[in-house]
Chains A and B, each alone.
Chain A
Amino acid sequence: DAGVIQSPRHEVTEMGQEVTLRCKPISGHDYLFWYRQTMMRGLELLIYFNNNVPIDDSGMPEDRFSAKMPNASFSTLKIQPSEPRDSAVYFCASRRTGGNTDTQYFGPGTRLTVL
């Protein structure tokens, strides 16, 4: 399996622009998580989906952030308009219900810089 795939790996944009981050979870996984990592706040959960349905978006910082999961193999995190304080590494992770492990598998992350 290729693991969780994220694109782009790096994104540099100017304040006010729209940014779209993409994630392909591991095939067969029914949970998908979006996290943000900064030096100050560490790793924070933004939103998670179960069977393509958003379950908890309480971590989404504000209305500028939105996430979708149109099918089991694809999710997007969109920031519109972007601001410098959104600069961080954004991770996607997926997990499968059941089995003998509860582990989340993380993608390599997207490093976002908003100028």
Chain B
Amino acid sequence: KQEVTQIPAALSVPEGENLVLNCSFTDSAIYNLQWFRQDPGKGLTSLLLIQSSQREQTSGRLNASLDKSSGRSTLYIAASQPGDSATYLCAVRGGYSTLTFGKGTMLLVSP
């Protein structure tokens, strides 16, 4: 059974810092990996999707990398802003259509 772990569980940084969120998964036979953002009281919004054949994806200040063989992914956020404060979830898709989620990293960026 696939298990997804995210470290750290919570992170607090001052505005402007670059930061890295970590995700690890136990079964490397994945179809793709996604990073989602969840704001309090809201649903999830997909940020980046990396196919199993890819190494990284970039969107604006966000960069996600994937090392499938070691079962790891990182989400890099450059020049963090207070608006980046949210919970970030990592999810992997196996051979079927379902996603397995980590419990998330709660990020607080203070002005």
Chain A residues close to B by CB (< 8 Å): 4, 31, 33, 42-45, 48, 50, 55-56, 91, 93, 95, 101-109, 111
Contacts and interface: CB of A to CB of B under 8 A. Distances in A.
Contacts of A55: 97
Contact of B49 (A31, A48, A101): A101
Nearest to B31: A102
Contacts, number: 50
Contacts of B74: none
Interface residues of B, number: 22
A56 B43 CA distance: 22
A2 B14 CA distance: 35
Contacts of A56: 96, 98
Nearest to A42: B103
Interface in B61-85: none
A103 B43 contact: no
Contact of B101 (A42, A50, A111): A42
29 contacts: A33-B98, A42-B102, A42-B103, A43-B44, A43-B89, A43-B101, A45-B98, A48-B97, A50-B97, A56-B96, A91-B43, A91-B44, A95-B97, A102-B31, A102-B32, A102-B34, A102-B49, A104-B99, A105-B46, A106-B36, A106-B43, A106-B44, A106-B45, A108-B41, A108-B43, A109-B41, A109-B42, A109-B43, A111-B41
